[in-house]
Structure 1
Amino acid sequence: MATQTLALPAQPTLPTGFKKWIIVVTAISAAIIELIDTSIVNVGLTDIAGNLGVTVEDVSWVVTAYAIANVIVIPMTGFLQRYFGRKNYYIGSIILFTLASYGCGFADNLWTLVAFRFLQGIGGGALLSTSQGLMYDAFPPSQRPVASALFGMGIVLGPTLGPTLGGYIIDNYHWSWMFYINVPIGIAAVMLSSAYIDKKADELNINRSAIQIDQLGILLLAVGIGSLQYVLERGEADDWFDDRIIQWLTVLAVIAIPAFIWWELRGTKEPVVDLRTLKNRNLAVGSLLMVIVGYGLFTSVLLYPLFAQRIVGLTATQTGKLLIPGGLLTLPMFALVGRLLAKGVSPRLNVVVGYVAFATFCFIMSTYNIETSDNYFIYALMIRGIGLAFVNVPLINQSVATLSPQQLPTGIAIVNMMRQVGGAFGVAITNTYVTQRMAVHRGDLVSNLQPGDMLTTERLNAMTQGLVARGMNAFDAVTGAYKNMDLIISRQALMLSYLDTFKLAGLFFVFSFPLIFLLKSKKMDAATAKAVADAAH
């Protein structure tokens, strides 16, 4: 009986021609719109806050709700696919994501928007988690590295294109179109998925009564990971442990996460997430490295637009346009990585190249200043694109290459969850570090401004005279000059804090670099590659 079960996935005929590429386009599109929505609203928070009549701090819940839902759903993917069937789960998730997107655009108050963003995050987590399995099913084992590379484009281009698209919409349309744009894509994806995606053999006769639901495990996972994600997302904005909600949710995370680990390892025979797979060295090491990759990806997506707009003075549209050359370069780089993997080049070597490139990007950005030209940003972002192409797909493949077929669904879900958690840690660390370093740099700059200092006096006099020349009276001109000086100091301090944060991100890559050599270098055989296809991303 066991032999028949293992043989079943190999039986269906691979899609060819038009059907194959329809599946590819559908899977990549679904992954891209999910990942775009992790970052697209970042550039529109100010507009959303003004339109809904709330503060920017309150509207950041729009980002937090989506992230919490995402990180809860992703590790449960394997169980949810077994219970509902992959095709049903995938289509249902697209429908939920699409309806929630429409609800987000239609929302006329903050908490309605937050509620729909949470539902959007639940549907979106499934899109990311099942699309890669569909991609693998469309290719024979020998071409699955190419499938990984194609899908990897979506993983990287989504967060990259998010600020670009969001900036264009904010500058030219109403913010609601950041959500409405998902609706036609979602409708098309539902129609194409229903028509062209086939059910696997184990989906045809699902006996749900025989599937034990790990209710306590799901509860502990949702409470523990959800609380941790909230603390990381909202900590800096809410003054960390000075806030009662942060205090209580930290306690919940500290209790629920260890309890979840114990329950999944010892308390149940049917865990919702089989943590025993982390005994595998490649998966454990790869998960740690994926935290760093998620940290680098999400930190760069957060920091670059802030630096370009708040320091250099670019518009949202200009900031987005500078991402385009790097994104275009990433496409052939993913194709190159796919070919290298298909020809047997060590995935570990690819990861090394990607790590070096990404660290280089961080250190280059840490040298920029207020007068940095567009070309220098493009140069750095192209290096970032190369790094992401070389590190992302090879690292995912190598993390699960030594797992058994039965362990792959859990292994891949864990790797993807760790990337999301790494992104959450990255945002939290970035916000906290920028605030702390800005205070330090401001203090240093102010300490150099002495009342009797000739250069300081000359600068203030020049500012005063300039304001008087514009028609301001002498008393107000002096006050305005001091205010302008204060703004200049604050901007300089902010710039230095951003540079420090880029350097910190680079150091994370440097210090974690030795972990790459703990990965066992193994190319996936055909059977394992097929099992990855059946896994939920």
Structure 2
Amino acid sequence: MSAARAPTNKWLVTVSVTFGTLMGAIDASIVNVALPQIRGAVGATVQEITWITTGFAIATVIVMPLTAFLGRLFGQKRVYMASLLVFVVGSALCGLASSLGQVVAFRAIQGLGAGALQPTEQAILRQTFPPKEQGMAMALFAMAVMVGPAVGPTLGGYIVDNFHWSWIFFINLPVGALGLFMVWRFVHEPEDIRAANAAAAAEQRRNMDWLGIALLAVGLATLQYFLEEGQRDDWFESRTITAVAAVAAVALALFVWRELVAKVPAVNLRLFGDAVFTSGTVIGAVMFAILMASMFLLPLFMQELLGFTAMQSGLALMPRVLVMMLVTPIVGRLYSRVSPRLLVAIGVVLVSLGSFDVSRITLESTSSGIVHAILIQGVGFSFLFVPLTTAALSNVPRARLADATGLNSLLRQVGASMGLAIFATLLDRAGVHARAAVASHLGPERPEVQDRLGQLAAFFAQRGFDPVSAREAALRALDGIVRKQSMVIAFEHVLFVTGVLFLCVLPLLYFLKVNRHGPREKVHVEMEM
């Protein structure tokens, strides 16, 4: 018999598996600020360049729920290392790409690698830390998942302003190489997990669920396309979007049926029979919808209406990142002492209060004026992520953690995409209504309107415009003022709605009844410090 492996320090395991997750989370948002530069380099239209983000998102969501399936066949560690290698290779190819087709294809390769990183890290950390420290384990995971999308635009803005756009991809190479070495050296699958996976893999190979995998790929790819491109094509006014939505609905319905009747399903949907897992996962999906909407709306407001650069808007939001990094470990320690339902309730209320506060922004608002609201939101998100991810998996057996983390990550990703799609649409519709409401008060018969036009015409006349041109310029200027004020009203409305909608998840806390000790089973634990 071979000698038993000496346990690895759990913090080395944590650092090792966090590299990939952090890079994947950053890359989901870092590219957005570089799209104008990439578009110019590859000669793409505005419509075409969106496929760089859409292709990455589609590839990511397809892989997430299959992480456990792949882990049973090849081993969790091998899947993580292979995914990280695919991600790094995809990054290198993206940096070397010279055409739109190449960038889109290589971004899809990146997405295939990134999709398995989050759920695999989450499962590894859950299997590495003892039950009493699960909150701290998920706090460390949360810092990578939540901080990544927040840091991405700022880091991307700095790179684009000071270097060539390709470095937003090349920067992943040394970090990825270090992550690969550390995972190879320090991460080892627990014996109980390896034994369970080996037994499950033998049964899985005899009953491969190819139909389920095919339906999953088609359903998630079309759903993600619908969410990513629907707003741009005016949703169901487009025949393409309508057809894609129909295919997604049918494919996902057939997928659910197939997984419930398959002898060995590729994705274990029966986990949703656990009310704690379902409630924690659903609230987490709503949380990410609000988080992504906030990360989309505030930078857009600052850049479009306040005149901030991409990097300036990223720096303005940095206090939220810093407070999340500070508070998240504290919440991780509180988890073992305080009811998860209380922590989540505090988080929901704080995020909603932050949304109500930030909904009062105006054209006179400065970055310092927004800090107070986003700090409240940052504390709220910290109180949400740790107890939700920890509680959702509290009743899941260790051998099924990879299945549960894959589904948990998938719903977070889909929730984020739905949040962006829904709130972008709400912003567009609210802008139209606000413009109509403001314009209704600007009739030519009103003396204050004529006074304002006279002032604007005089301003342009002083700068050399003839009377007719000055009048036309004054009308255009007044139209610009109406447009900006309408967008302010629209932003305020949508940000207020995010707070109201988030409060609606509070009833789901009733189902968040946590078994802190988890299922009774033999537990492998890595060594303490």
**Residue of structure 2 equivalent to 1:486:** 479
**Residue identity matched to 1:334:** T
2:122–2:405 CA contact under 8 A, matched in 1 = no
Task: For 1:442 and 1:381, locate their aligned partners in 2 and report how far apart those are by CA, in whole Å.
Answer: 27
Q: 1:469 to 1:77 in 2, by over 3 A?
A: same
Quick check: 1:259 aligned with 2:254? yes
Query: CA separation in 2, counterparts of 1:278 and 1:293?
Result: 19
Q: Which residue of 2 aligns with 1:3?
A: none
Distance 1:120 1:531 in 2: 32
Q: Distance in 2 between matches of 1:218 and 1:75?
A: 10
Q: Say if 1:363 and 1:502, in contact at 8 Å, map to a contact too.
A: yes
Counterpart of 1:99 in structure 2 is 89
Partner Cα distance (1:486, 1:460) in 2 = 11
Residue of structure 1 in register with 2:183 after alignment:
193
Change in 2 beyond 3 A, CA 1:410/1:206: closer
Q: Is the 8 A contact 2:276 2:514 kept in 1?
A: no
In the alignment, which of 66, 70, 79 is matched to residue 80 of structure 1? 70
- Structure 2's unaligned 5+ residue stretches are none
Does the 8 Å CA contact 1:409/1:532 hold for their aligned counterparts?
Answer: no
Residue by residue over 1:170-199, the C-alpha shift from the partner in whole angstroms, topping out at 9 and shown as x without a partner, is 333332222222121111111222222224
Correspondent of 1:298 among 271, 280, 292? 292
Seen in structure 2, the aligned counterparts of structure 1 residues 531 and 367 have a Cα distance that, compared at 3 Å, is farther
Structure 1 residues 360 and 476 mapped into 2: Cα distance closer, same or farther (>3 Å)? same
Q: Secondary structure at the match of 2:505?
A: helix
| TM-score, structure 1 as length reference | 0.91
Instruction: Say what the alpha-carbon RMSD is for the aligned residues.
Output: 2.2
Moved over 4 A (4+): 202-210, 526-533
Q: Within the alignment, does 1:246 sit opposite 2:241 as a pair?
A: yes
Give the structure 2 partner of residue 328 of structure 1: 322
> Per the alignment, do residues 454 and 31 of structure 1 end up closer, same or farther by CA in structure 2, a change over 3 Å counting?
same
Pair 1:496–1:274, CA change in 2 (3 A): same
Superposed CA deviations along residues 346-390 of structure 1, whole A, max 9, x for unmatched, are 111111111111111111111111111222211112112111111
CA–CA distance in 2 between the matches of 1:209 and 1:377?
Answer: 56
Seen in structure 2, the aligned counterparts of structure 1 residues 405 and 143 have a Cα distance that, compared at 3 Å, is closer
Could you say which residue in structure 1 is the equivalent of 2:44?
54
Cα distance change, pair 13–383 in 1 and its aligned pair in 2 (3 A) = farther
Q: Which residue of 2 aligns with 1:6?
A: none
CA contact (8 A) 1:161 1:323 kept: no
> Displacement, 1:527?
5.4
Which residue type is aligned with residue 487 of structure 1?
G
Provide the TM-score with structure 2 as the length reference: 0.93
In the alignment, the residues of structure 1 paired with residue 238 and residue 113 of structure 2 have an alpha-carbon distance, to the nearest angstrom, of 30
Structure 1 equivalent of residue 517 of structure 2: 524
Shift in Å at residue 57 of structure 1? 2.7
Determine helix, strand or coil for the equivalent of 2:513. Answer: coil
Contact preservation (8 Å) 2:119, 2:402: no
* Matching residue's letter, 1:245: T
Shift in alpha-carbon separation, 1:518–1:200, aligned structure 2, 3 A: closer
Q: Report the Cα distance in structure 2 between the residues aligned to 1:182 and 1:229, rounded to whole angstroms.
A: 25
Q: Quick check: 1:14–1:139 contact (8 Å CA) kept in 2?
A: no
Equivalent residues of 1:398, 1:521 under 8 A apart: yes
**DSSP-derived class of the 1:312 partner:** coil
Aligned length in residues: 518
Contact 1:346/1:522 (8 A) holds in 2: no
Which residue of the partner structure matches residue 271 of structure 1?
A: 265
Could you say what secondary structure the match of 1:322 adopts? helix
After TM superposition, list the pairs within 5 Å mapping 1:362-373 onto structure 2: 362-373=355-366
Question: Following the alignment from structure 2 to structure 1, what is the Cα–Cα distance between the partners of residues 194 and 310?
Answer: 46
Deviation at 1:391, TM superposition (A): 0.4
Q: Is the 8 A contact 1:232 1:425 kept in 2?
A: yes
User: Within the alignment, does 1:396 sit opposite 2:389 as a pair?
Assistant: yes
Aligned equivalent of 1:64: 54
Query: After alignment, is 103-112 or 20-29 more displaced?
Result: 20-29
- Contact 1:133–1:532 at 8 Å: present in 2 too? no
Cα deviations across residues 248-275 of structure 1 (Å, max 9, x unaligned)?
2112112111100000001x11101111
Could you say what secondary structure the match of 2:112 adopts?
A: helix
Structure 1 residues 365 and 528, CA, compared in 2 at 3 Å: closer, same or farther?
Answer: farther
Which is worse superposed, 433-442 or 463-472? Answer: 463-472
The CA deviation string for residues 6-52 of structure 1, in whole angstroms up to 9 with x for no partner, is xxxxx854313xxx444322222221111111111222323332333
Query: For the residues of structure 1 that align with 2:63 and 2:326, how far apart are their CA atoms?
Result: 32
Q: Of the candidates 459, 463, 475, which is equivalent to residue 470 of structure 1?
A: 463
Q: Offset at 1:211?
A: 3.0
Q: Which residue in 2 is equivalent to 1:5?
A: none
How far apart in 2 are the matches of 1:489 and 1:531? Answer: 63
1:232 to 221, 227, 230: 227
Which sits farther off after the overlay, 282-291 or 196-205?
A: 196-205
**Could you tell me how far 1:298 is from its partner in structure 2?**
1.0
CA contact (8 A) 2:31 2:156 kept: yes
Moved more, 255-264 or 51-60: 51-60
2:454 and 2:462 map into 1 onto residues whose CA distance is: 12
Note the residue ranges of structure 1 that are not aligned, 5 or more in a row: 1-10
- Counterpart residue number, 2:135: 145
| 8 A contact 1:149–1:338 mirrored in 2 | yes
Letter in 2 for 1:383: I
Report if the CA contact (8 A) 1:363-1:503 is conserved.
Answer: yes
Deviation at 1:305, TM superposition (A): 0.6
8 Å Cα contact 1:136-1:530 kept in structure 2: no
- Specify the code of the residue in structure 2 equivalent to 1:248: A
Partner of 2:437: 444
* Aligned-pair CA distance for 1:244: 2.6
**Contact kept? 1:78, 1:410, Cα under 8 Å:** yes
1:348 to 341, 345, 355: 341
